Amino acid sequence: MSKSRMPLIPALIFLNILITNYAVCQPFEKINLSFPGLSHSKINWIDLNNDRLLDVFISGVDDSVTAKSQVYINHGGGNFVLINSGLPNITNASIAWADFDKDGDLDLLVSAYSSGHNGIITRIYENLLPASFAERDFGFADLHSGSVKWIDYNNDSHPDVFITGLDSGGSPQLKLYKNTGNSFSEIQTGLPSVYFSSCEFYDFDKDGDADLLISGQTNENKNSYLTEIFINDNSSFTESGIELPPMSKSSSAWGDFDSDGYGDIVMQGEMFNSSTGNTEFTTAIFRNNGDNTFSKHASGLPGLSSGNILWADFDNDGFLDILAVGNHSGNATGIAGVYRNNNGNFTEVKTVHPDLTYGQVSIGDFDNDFRIDILLTGHNPSTKKNITYVYRNLTSVINEAPVEPKGLTTTFDNAVIHFNWLEGTDSSTPSAGLSYNLRIGTFPGGDDILSPAGSGVNGFSRLPGTGNTGTGRSWHIEGLEPGLYYWSVQTVDNTFNTSEFTADNTFTFQNPLPGSGNPSTGNTNGYILMQNFPNPFNPFTNIKYEIPNEAVVIIKIFDTNGRLIDTPVNEYKQAGSYSFIFSGENLSSGIYYYKIEAAGFSLTKKMVLLR
């Protein structure tokens, strides 16, 4: 007797239903750990003692509205031990982590109300574990209810301090402090002073320095809500003119959700409808079009405020999903949800997360199984209790560590050093969606010059997130002392697993020769030859130059063997500024030189074509 068979088409439909059902029912398991329930909090998965296990930092208020700050060291096997950290109990806080003293571990920058100080503070807490954290007061403006960031805004390899929020008199402030190596000095920026703010730095235009996405409000009038992108142009921030919806009580994140190589934006927050006079909560995605414009991407995500939102690949398919928590429906209820990215369509994953108000989330692989786990805090309106929960990711999809990039090259523009590399690879994340960590030191394997906060080895990341150069495959720094340096790069996938670092490349830096001009512009006697942009390029790049007097201008392109490739400019010019587009369509990847000659002046610069 023949066996009955399921017809092929119904079988395929049934299989598709199973796959779809799995996709939206990704398993998470709540782990019973004795962390205190907190809301209005700041939390992190972070490896504080460099043992390749993610520890927990948590701060906020408990059910009795008492401020707390606690550190739990991960001893493996789900065993977390509370330590005496020496950190103040804080609320209305913003925090950030970086190795500011370049001793190999992560230090804390905090701006908050501190019960121990009986007032608001902005301080650095130096990581001296296993002893404790030590307070360092550099005279920063004391602020709360804002945002703090470590950011090397001027590419000198020193992490600078960026702060927004309210001062003791209730006035909004924005401060940028340049790290001079052993102190900090305030820098005037012209940026708007905001509070209830979100500030995120990312090289969205891929020119090798960090641009700023900022939102918040400048005064109590809801018409003062704003969201703006400021372009970092040679260490000065200029308005981009990009229009985004104004928000306050917001959270935002950069991430390449479509893996096209350009950083996109997800934002949530409170908007003001001037027509109705009401506030509305929103969550929106803005796609980077790659030409300094953004388009709103239809997402269907619920509107949230007073929480936070993150990108991460939870299902190990190589594409960034969304984790969000925040207030909903006028602060009466809340939502905590995971939204799976299915070819740009975001679908809620059914989980056991309680819906929370005034919540925070952090992501990290605390059990080192190559799956992103969740740390969640907030207030549960149903139980009227604050909670802190850990959810282990049980997805069955296998993830592997990415592979390090190849083709590392170094070029010099007087005192500016340019670093370039080819793509890394990963079994899940598309190559264009990979990000990278750049490490620079004065000894093999060293990071005493540039230390990525999220670096790690063999899949591990000590502070999970996008690499310190974003998806770009070039960076530059300046201001180095003469000497021999070692540098290497690692690949970061969308689960924030890391490859090994590449073998060290070396370079020797010497002071620019006298009379060689301004390091950033190549300016000599009024003649200026700018660094091409973008660099690296594929296949087009823009070259700008200026001449102070009328002259015959000749610009030639050479390869590394000195062979003349092209002469794009050879004509008489009046004094002024000029530019032209150079095409490498018919050239292979590599280093090329462009040289200007005019009235006895000549200058040569390097550029990199990456196909």
Domains of the chain: total? 2
Same domain, 576 and 538: yes
Across 393-420, b (16+ Cβ under 10 Å) vs e yields: bebeeebebbbbbeebbbbbbbbbbbbb
* Lowest mean pLDDT segment, chosen from 186-195, 371-380, 487-496, 541-550: 541-550
Which domain CATH number covers 429? 2.60.40
Query: Is 309's pLDDT higher than 80?
Result: yes
532 shares its domain with 484: no
Single-letter amino acid code for the residue at 28: F
- CA dist 214 to 76, 242, 325, Å? 38, 12, 20
Domain end call among 509, 542, 574: 509
Work out the pLDDT band at 326, boundaries 50, 70, 90.
Answer: very high
Residue 596 belongs to domain with CATH number: 2.60.40.1930
Same domain, 490 and 565: no
- What's the mean pLDDT in 191-207? 95
- Of the pLDDT bands very low, low, confident and very high (cuts 50, 70, 90), residue 6 is very low
Domain assignment of residue 124, yes or no: no
Between CA 178 and CA 154 the distance in angstroms is 9
Give residue 607's Cα distance to chain centre: 26
| pLDDT attached to residue 25 | 55
167 has pLDDT over 70:
yes
Are 504 and 417 members of one domain?
yes
Element (H, E) at 336: strand 333-342
* 545/497 same-domain check: no
Question: Is 265 within a domain?
Answer: no
Domain end residue (candidates: 461, 476, 509) = 509
Q: Does residue 572 form part of some domain? A: yes
Pick the most confident of 220-224, 327-331, 520-524, 529-533. 220-224
Confidence band for 525, pLDDT divided at 50, 70 and 90: low
Instruction: Grade residue 589 by pLDDT with cuts at 50, 70 and 90.
Output: confident
> Average pLDDT for residues 61-73, to the nearest whole number?
96
**Of the segments 8-22, 153-167, 443-457, 551-565, which one has the largest average pLDDT value?**
153-167
pLDDT confidence tier of residue 288, bands split at 50, 70 and 90? very high
**596 in the same domain as 566:** yes
Residue 458: domain span: 409-509
Question: Does residue 112 fall inside a structural domain?
Answer: no
| The dihedral formed by the CA atoms of 254, 229, 306 and 144, expressed in degrees to the nearest 10 | 110
Angle at 112 between CA 108 and CA 113, to 5 degrees: 135
Q: Which tokens go with 427?
A: 């079994």
The answer on 413 and 500 residing in a single domain is yes
Same domain, 558 and 596: yes
Give the confidence band of 527 by pLDDT, cuts at 50, 70, 90: confident
Strand positions, DSSP E, 479-548: 483-492, 505-509, 523-524, 527-529, 540-547
Does 167 map to a domain? Answer: no
Q: Decide if pLDDT at 517 tops 80.
A: no
| Residue 335 covered by a domain | no
The helix/strand/coil state of 320 is coil
Query: Is residue 56 in some structural domain?
Result: no
> Is there a single domain that holds both residue 542 and residue 503?
no
For position 51, what pLDDT does the model report? 95
Most distant CA pair in the chain: distance in Å?
97
Instruction: Identify the pLDDT of residue 23.
Output: 43
Residue 511's pLDDT band (cuts 50, 70, 90) = low
Q: What is the CA radius of gyration of the chain?
A: 25
pLDDT for position 212: 98
Q: Same structural domain for residues 418 and 482?
A: yes
DSSP 8-state class, residue 511: P
In tens, the pLDDT along 123-139 reads 999 999 999 999 999 99
| Residues 548 and 470 reside in one and the same domain | no
The mean predicted confidence, pLDDT, of the chain is 90
Both 549 and 482 in a single domain?
no
In a domain, 300, yes or no: no
Instruction: State the pLDDT at residue 520.
Output: 36
Confidence check: pLDDT of 508 > 70: yes
- With cut-offs at 50, 70 and 90, classify the pLDDT of residue 27: confident
pLDDT of residue 26: 60
Q: Indicate if the pLDDT at residue 345 is higher than 90.
A: yes
